[in-house]
Structure 1
Amino acid sequence: MPDLQRSWADGPFGILSTPEKPSDDNPHAAIYIATEMTLSHNVLIRGLNSIYRQGPFLPPPSSPSFLATDITYFLFFTQAWVKIVHHHHGAEETVFFPELEKFTGDGDAMKGNKEEHERFHAGLEKLDEYVRNVKAEDWRWERQKEIMDEFCGVLYGHLKGEVETLLALEKYDSVGLRGIWKKTEDKAKGDIKLPGMFDTILPMVLGCADKTYEGGRHAFPPFPFFVPYLIDWWFAGYHRGAWRFCPCDMYGRPRELLFGE
């Protein structure tokens, strides 16, 4: 946990620990994949926590310190969080899960995970609809929290449980599993041309990726060194006000939340 004086993005949903140990020189692919998945999930969790931690402290329209621009940026920050959740799970459903089921010969290997996606999908859409359409003057944190409370517990349980599902794959061939993970990574790289990738998804990911996590031993996200500079100095500028709500800067350095206890 970063040594910050104000509330940070380590709660209310706990940050996950990786299963891979520093002494693991060449871990089985199941452990490697579970570790990479944990790092991805922690990005989603930090974004989620940042919403929960800051929402209650945004001055409402009835407050003398109310600023419509702050609410507008916070709403976009929430939209960006929904977008990175969809992007993450899209890669799983189109490549990772089908390839795993084919590789293991078990068509139900990821059935539980897919069912969990369905359980919180409607809640994500409901949240996205609210933050896209509500006007700053009509926004209420209590209403946004009510929508989020309906599905975020299930989402968090899924993010934790999926890591355990992946670790159970250690009984399968490591080389074959690595190949499946590479296909998934290639799919994610191919998404680089998707609308909103550079000005929304990547700034959100970078702003929720803590480089000090577990002693800074993880190179995550695995981008070339120049990418954070490119995003920060060019693409992040399109929605700069929204990225103020991120728990880290574009270089993965934790910082105090803009609004907090």
Structure 2
Amino acid sequence: MAGFSKTAILSIPLMIIGFLLSRAPFTMTSLPPSLPWADGPMKLITTPQFLTKKTDIFTSGATHMALLHNSILRGYNSIYQQAPHITDQDKADFVGYCLTWYKFVKSHHDDEEETLFTKVEDLLQDKTVFAETHKEHEAFLAGLADFAKYLNGLKTPAEYSGDELLRVMGTFQEPFESHFHSEISTIARLAEHPNAPKEGTPENAAASATFKSWGKATVTKAGTTDVVPFFLLNLDRTVEGGLWANWPPIPAPIKWGLINLAGAWHSGWWKFTSCDAAGQPKELWALRVAELKKGQTEPELKA
């Protein structure tokens, strides 16, 4: 009997792992995009490093910020494109997906304002470098709050309306897109600031460490089982000739675990992402379902 109990106890972790793996994003079937995808309506950002081939700390910092911003923009676009086509059975998962996008954006904004901007201002001894950026933030925050208010205010997922969600998104789309592009240019231009640290100096090394540590922490602190999978499953590893296929620089087993084990917690949400577990662009789920319904055919996809 004691041997049986020991075996049963040892089998529990294996059962948990098996359960998580059965819900992991890598098990989801995906197809290459053939319908409208997550590259619009908001335009994605070309990274400064790809454009200029520069590698100074501010060009690199702006580039990494652009990659993060593009994940958020693909998230917005994936919501926008799929919002009118959500079936009743998918409404609860879609609301969860949308609220995770909101959580990602809000955490990102707060972390910039409270941490990154202050450190860069101190480094450059200039409190004005992000003056316009602060104004840009204010221009979309009210609409962003309305986005969360609408979704959190639903008594049940059945009340979800794609038309209403799109209406709310339309109230902040223009300033949001403008800011997410403008901020990249603002950071890249800091390389020309008179107080920008010179290559090879301790100040330059410290500034580089600031960008790296902030970038590493900003997503994980927002939520390991929701925001992190959202971020990674909206990262297109094929962009710019595959230059960023291994970004962010996380050891492959850890990245796999963040996507597939942490991601298993809310597995139903990730059917709506723009990319699959391997970082390849995939057809948007709700558009595929809508297209197949036209032919009275059940989706040949596994969610």
TM-score, length-normalised on structure 2? 0.76
Task: Say which is worse superposed, 178-187 or 148-157, in terms of deviation.
Answer: 178-187
Aligned-partner Cα distance in 2 for 1:28–1:181: 9
Aligned-partner Cα distance in 1 for 2:198–2:258: 35
Tell me, yes or no, if structure 1 residue 97 matches structure 2 residue 124.
no
Aligned-partner Cα distance in 2 for 1:71–1:209: 24
Tell me, yes or no, if structure 1 residue 41 matches structure 2 residue 69.
yes
Q: What is the alpha-carbon root mean square deviation over aligned residues?
A: 2.3
Give the equivalent residue in structure 2 for 1:108. Answer: 128
Give the equivalent residue in structure 2 for 1:169. Answer: 190
Residue by residue over 1:96-132, the C-alpha shift from the partner in whole angstroms, topping out at 9 and shown as x without a partner, is 1112222222211101111211222222222112212
Aligned-partner Cα distance in 1 for 2:101–2:234: 10
Match of 2:240 among 211, 214, 226: 214
For residue 42 of structure 1, report the CA deviation from its aligned partner. Answer: 0.4
TM-score, length-normalised on structure 1? 0.87
Task: In structure 1, give the amino acid aligned to 2:94.
Answer: F
Match of 2:263 among 216, 228, 236: 236
Match of 1:77 among 97, 107, 126: 97
SS at match of 1:254: coil
8 Å contact from structure 2 (residues 33, 284) kept in 1: no
8 Å contact from structure 1 (residues 95, 183) kept in 2: no
For residue 206 of structure 1, report the CA deviation from its aligned partner. Answer: 0.8
Task: Say which is worse superposed, 98-107 or 169-178, in terms of deviation.
Answer: 169-178
1:142-161 matched pairs, under 5 angstroms: 142-161=163-182
Tell me, yes or no, if structure 1 residue 6 matches structure 2 residue 35.
yes
8 Å contact from structure 1 (residues 54, 257) kept in 2: yes
8 Å contact from structure 2 (residues 225, 263) kept in 1: yes
Q: How many residues align?
A: 250
Q: Given the superposition, is the C-alpha separation of residues 34 and 224 from structure 1 closer, same or farther in structure 2, using an over 3 Å criterion? A: same
Aligned-partner Cα distance in 2 for 1:37–1:178: 18
Match of 1:54 among 76, 82, 106: 82
Q: Given the superposition, is the C-alpha separation of residues 187 and 47 from structure 1 closer, same or farther in structure 2, using an over 3 Å criterion? A: same
8 Å contact from structure 1 (residues 30, 168) kept in 2: yes
Task: In structure 2, give the amino acid aligned to 1:128.
Answer: A
Give the equivalent residue in structure 2 for 1:257. Answer: 284
1:132-151 matched pairs, under 5 angstroms: 132-134=152-154, 135-151=156-172
Give the equivalent residue in structure 1 for 2:9. Answer: none
For residue 166 of structure 1, report the CA deviation from its aligned partner. Answer: 1.3
Residue by residue over 1:197-217, the C-alpha shift from the partner in whole angstroms, topping out at 9 and shown as x without a partner, is 221011100110001111111
8 Å contact from structure 2 (residues 32, 283) kept in 1: no
SS at match of 1:41: helix
For residue 147 of structure 1, report the CA deviation from its aligned partner. Answer: 1.1
Task: In structure 2, give the amino acid aligned to 1:216.
Answer: G
Aligned-partner Cα distance in 2 for 1:256–1:51: 13
Tell me, yes or no, if structure 1 residue 199 matches structure 2 residue 211.
no
Task: Say which is worse superposed, 217-226 or 167-176, in terms of deviation.
Answer: 167-176
SS at match of 1:199: coil
Q: Given the superposition, is the C-alpha separation of residues 4 and 190 from structure 1 closer, same or farther in structure 2, using an over 3 Å criterion? A: closer
Aligned-partner Cα distance in 2 for 1:184–1:91: 12
Percent of residue pairs bearing the same amino acid type: 28
Task: In structure 2, give the amino acid aligned to 1:255.
Answer: K
For residue 137 of structure 1, report the CA deviation from its aligned partner. Answer: 1.9
Give the equivalent residue in structure 2 for 1:19. Answer: 48
Give the equivalent residue in structure 2 for 1:63. Answer: none
